[in-house]
Amino acid sequence: MMVSSSSSSSSCFVVLSLAVLLQFLFVSASTKSIDAICQRVTDKAFCVKTLTAYPPAASASTRFQAAKAALSLGMSYAGKSAVYVAKAAKENPNLKKQFAGCKDAFTTIVYSLKSASMELKESPDTSNYDVMVCTDSTTIVKNLVGKNMDKASKTVMSMTLMMEKILAIAVGATLAVGG
């Protein structure tokens, strides 16, 4: 009976040790992937905080997976921004045309980031270009509502500034894959 208990203890220790080791290796891989992206971004602290809080990036085991996650984050944010702007257009008839233009700009960002994501493996340079042209869309939004003083326009401007920070991470991601 003693041998069985000792054997059971040893097995439990080995399994527990492996679990801890695998968790350490997994966290280490995702941290290295996130660091590889954030080294290429001006606001490194924001980049690390954002990607480590985003489960697909935090659980990425390769640089490629982390980059795909960063692009996915950008698509999600741009999509939610487009939905907000579409709602604001309905609620603000005087600014309907401007908000419609903003919605189109955010929708364009979504499509550009989808394209970048699809091209990432085969052509990181093309993927990088697709992300970088998204700044044209953020400039359009700024020109459409940047001078407005209403609450919805100010919210759209805040969203646009955040979008620019997320796009910087997406650029870093394509550079991290492309070298």
Those residues with Cβ within 8 angstroms of residue 169's Cβ, 6 or more apart along the chain or in another chain: 37, 38, 41, 47, 50, 51, 70, 73, 74
Confidence label for 171 from pLDDT (cuts 50, 70 and 90)? very high
Q: Interior CA angle at 120 toward 59 and 40, to 5°?
A: 70
Task: Please report, for the domain that includes residue 60, its CATH number.
Answer: 1.20.140.40
Q: Which domain holds residue 31?
A: 2-178
* Mean per-residue pLDDT over the chain, rounded: 89
Confidence label for 20 from pLDDT (cuts 50, 70 and 90)? very low
This prediction's pTM:
0.84
pLDDT confidence of residue 1: 45
pLDDT confidence of residue 4: 47
**pLDDT tens-place string over residues 105-155:** 999 999 999 999 999 999 999 999 999 999 999 999 999 999 999 999 999
- CA 116 to centroid of chain Cα atoms: 12
Confidence label for 29 from pLDDT (cuts 50, 70 and 90)? low
At residue 24, does pLDDT exceed 90? no
Q: Which residues of 24-46 are buried (b: 16+ CB within 10 A; e: fewer)?
A: eeeeebbbebbbbbbebbeeeeb
pLDDT confidence of residue 100: 97
As for how many domains the chain has, the answer is 1
Average pLDDT over residues 88-110: 96
pLDDT confidence of residue 31: 87
